[in-house]
Amino acid sequence: MPSGPPGYGYLVKHHILYESQYGFRESHSTTNAISELNSHILDNFDKRKMTLSLFLDLSKAFDTTDHSILLIKLGHYGIRGVSHEWFKSYLQNRQQYVKYKTCNSIPLNVDCGVPQGSVLGSILFILTQMTCQIVCQRQRVFSLLTAQRYMFLDTVRNPGLTL
C-alpha cells in the first residue's frame, strides 16, 4: 500500500486519483507537474502547433468547499457507512475564533471549507476538484492539478496559423 496521508491508500487502490493530479501524492510532485507541462508545450511546438494555457489559483477555494457536496462526493467514491459518518463528524459542527494575546473572539460556526493545515484537508480538497478533472478528460483538454493550482492547456487547431 502506498504511503501518504490518511485515505490516500484507498484513493490509489481504487484508481480514484487521475495521473494529472500532482501534489500530496507519492512520485507526483509539483516539479513533475512543471516537467509534464513543459513537455506538452514543447511537443506542440515541435508539431508547429500553438498551445493555449489557462492557470487558476485555487488557494482560496479551500475556504469555500461545501461540506454537503463533499460528503456526497465521498459517498460516490465509495466512502460509506462508519467511514462516511466519521468524515461527516470531522467536517460539520466546526467553530473558529481568533486569539490575540489573552483575548479570544466569539467562536463562529464554520459552514464550509476543509480544515487547512491538515494533510486530510488537502486530500478532501482534491476530491472536490475531481469533477473538473473528469470534464477535462472527456473534452480532451490537457489539465494538471497541483495542491492549489489548476493548469489547463489545449492545442490550437487552426491550420492557417504559422509559427
Q: Tens digit of pLDDT for each residue in 43-87?
A: 988 988 888 888 888 777 778 888 999 999 999 989 899 989 999
Whose grid coordinates read 515541435?
A: 46
> 36: pLDDT confidence band, cut at 50, 70 and 90?
confident
How confident is the model at residue 48, as a pLDDT? Answer: 84
> 111: pLDDT confidence band, cut at 50, 70 and 90?
confident
Cell of 39: 513537455
Q: How far apart are CA 22 and CA 34, in angstroms?
A: 10
Backbone φ and ψ for 99, nearest 5 degrees, come out as -115, 125
Cell of 124: 478532501
Least confident of 13-27, 35-49, 143-157: 143-157
> 104: pLDDT confidence band, cut at 50, 70 and 90?
very high
What's the average model confidence in pLDDT over 5-10?
69
Please, which contacts does 109-116 make with residues 24 or more away whose CB atoms are closer than 8 Å?
Answer: 111/67, 112/63, 112/64, 112/65, 112/66, 112/67, 113/62, 113/63, 113/64, 113/65, 114/62, 114/65, 114/70, 115/90, 116/62, 116/63
How confident is the model at residue 19, as a pLDDT? Answer: 75
Backbone φ and ψ for 35, nearest 5 degrees, come out as -65, -45
Q: How far apart are CA 114 and CA 107, in angstroms?
A: 17
Secondary structure class of 15 (helix, strand, coil): coil
Q: Percent of the chain beyond pLDDT 70?
A: 85
